[in-house]
Amino acid sequence: MHIRIGFAYTSNCLKKPAFFIELAHTSPLLEPGRFTFSGIDGIIYENPQKEVNEVRKKALKITYFLAALALCVTGLCACAPKSETASFFAMNTLMDITVYGADIQAAYDAQSIVNSLDRELSATSESSAVYAANTGEAARFTENGAELLSRAFDLCKETGGALDITVRPVMEAWGFTTDEYRVPGESELAELVKKVDFSAAAESFDGALLTLPEGMKIDLGAVAKGYAADRAVESLRAAGVEHAVLNLGGNVALVGANTKGEPWKVGVKDPFGKSSYVAVLSVADCNVVTSGGYERYFEENGMTYWHIIDPETGMPARTGLAAVTIVGESGVECDAFSTALFVMGEEKGLEFWRQIGGFEALFIRDDGTIVITEGLQGSFESSSDWEVAHREG
């Protein structure tokens, strides 16, 4: 039996696609049942014409949607600029840089910048500057690495220590750096938090060389992807790219609007896992970064412990929030603030937003309700209960 299945298009882009199935003779060599050919799984039926008719009925209902999706997402549609994607692994996560109407080399050049920062900022690579600093050496950073480190210290101060890049020894004690999870004792944590002090680390940095106090370690995980996004976007713009989407392990950076001149649609992940997304943001030319306890956690004796640590207590931050999303122009700030505001909690986080400005926030509470800052009105959609926080609180 020979079956050919596909789409035929009777006119231009997305106009009246026609689903067709061509059925040829039945071969005695093909018995009814499942088969695999060239990596494709299929089923041979005893009454193929009947099955074809059923498939045709169902397919006609979804043809228009599938045709639009297949053509536009893969860039085959003549109505939209071609897209090119560089996919790679860096900073312990999968990343994608997609450019529209531009050469793939622009994406590769941006990827090279991210990879370079990863090599320098990794806390686990023995050849990185961060690893050298954490093992007691005087570590020299590149211009980009030094800029990030300096900015990270400023952000720690700006957030009142809710973000603290010297929290790594506590993270290690919990096993979040090795996936060998455990609950540290109170006395152990009490000793470890004594070494959490970004201001002391900042004093040991001269703008290029970092020599940490004994027993202190840094981890730039809360700012590195955001900074990488900023540098990658800078590279794309310099190459003349006008439309791009960068997904750096959940940190989303957007260059311009989409190819139709409309805002991109960015989904906010459901931290409770009940659905894919709890909200959709219509935004352009900005960064969207989310931090939540659902990203990395373990359970022990009925308790859930996540990786976002309160630097003051050494315990996972519990402030009534399941996730925080930050929208803003600066990737490194969005990255830092998503962590810091999760630690602060809703009340302090909103007060910080009112004082600092320059970004918008979305808080998902433990009960599933949502609070958005006023700048997101008009670009926010959700089926969950939500309310708006205003600057004049």
pLDDT in tens, 321-373: 999 999 999 999 999 999 999 999 999 999 999 999 999 999 999 999 999 99
User: Which amino acid belongs to residue 236?
Assistant: L
What's the whole-model pTM score? 0.80
Query: For residue 63, what pLDDT is reported?
Result: 37
Per-domain boundaries in the chain = 3-73, 124-210
Q: What CA–CA distance (Å, rounded) separates 96 from 88?
A: 7
For residue 259, what are the contacts with CB-CB under 8 A and spacing of at least 6?
80, 81, 100, 101, 243
Q: Where does the chain show beta strands of DSSP type E?
A: 3-9, 17-23, 33-37, 40-44, 83-90, 93-100, 139-140, 209-210, 244-248, 251-255, 264-269, 277-283, 287-292, 297-300, 303-306, 321-328, 359-365, 370-373, 380-381, 386-389
CB 23 within 8 A of CB 49: yes
Pick the more confident residue, 249 or 31: 249
pLDDT in tens, 195-220: 999 999 999 999 999 999 999 999 99
Query: For residue 244, what pLDDT is reported?
Result: 98
Instruction: Supply the mean pLDDT for the chain.
Output: 85
pLDDT in tens, 123-157: 999 999 999 999 999 999 999 999 999 999 999 99
Query: For residue 393, what pLDDT is reported?
Result: 57
Query: For residue 275, what pLDDT is reported?
Result: 83
Question: CA–CA distance from 385 to each of 8, 117, 126 (Å)?
Answer: 43, 40, 47
Among 104, 94, 167, residue whose Cα is nearest residue 134: 167
CATH of 124-210, one of 3.40.50.1580, 1.10.3980.10, 3.40.50.920, 3.30.56.10: 1.10.3980.10
For residue 359, what are the contacts with CB-CB under 8 A and spacing of at least 6?
326, 327, 328, 329, 330, 333, 334, 337, 353
- Token pair belonging to 258: 């989409």
pLDDT for residue 178 is more than 70: yes
Element (H, E) at 114: helix 104-121
pLDDT for residue 181 is more than 90: yes
- Token pair belonging to 305: 């412990």
Distance in angstroms between the alpha carbons of the first and the last residue of the chain: 71
Query: For residue 250, what pLDDT is reported?
Result: 83
pLDDT in tens, 29-77: 344 444 444 343 444 444 544 444 444 444 333 333 333 333 333 333 3
- Token pair belonging to 34: 């499942």
pLDDT in tens, 276-306: 999 999 999 999 999 999 889 999 999 999 9
Mean pLDDT on 164-175: 98
Percent of the chain with pLDDT over 90: 77
Cα R_g (the chain), whole angstroms = 25
Among 338, 319, 320, residue whose Cα is nearest residue 328: 338
Mean pLDDT on 118-126: 97
Query: For residue 388, what pLDDT is reported?
Result: 96
Side-chain-side CA neighbours of residue 168 (13 Å)? 23
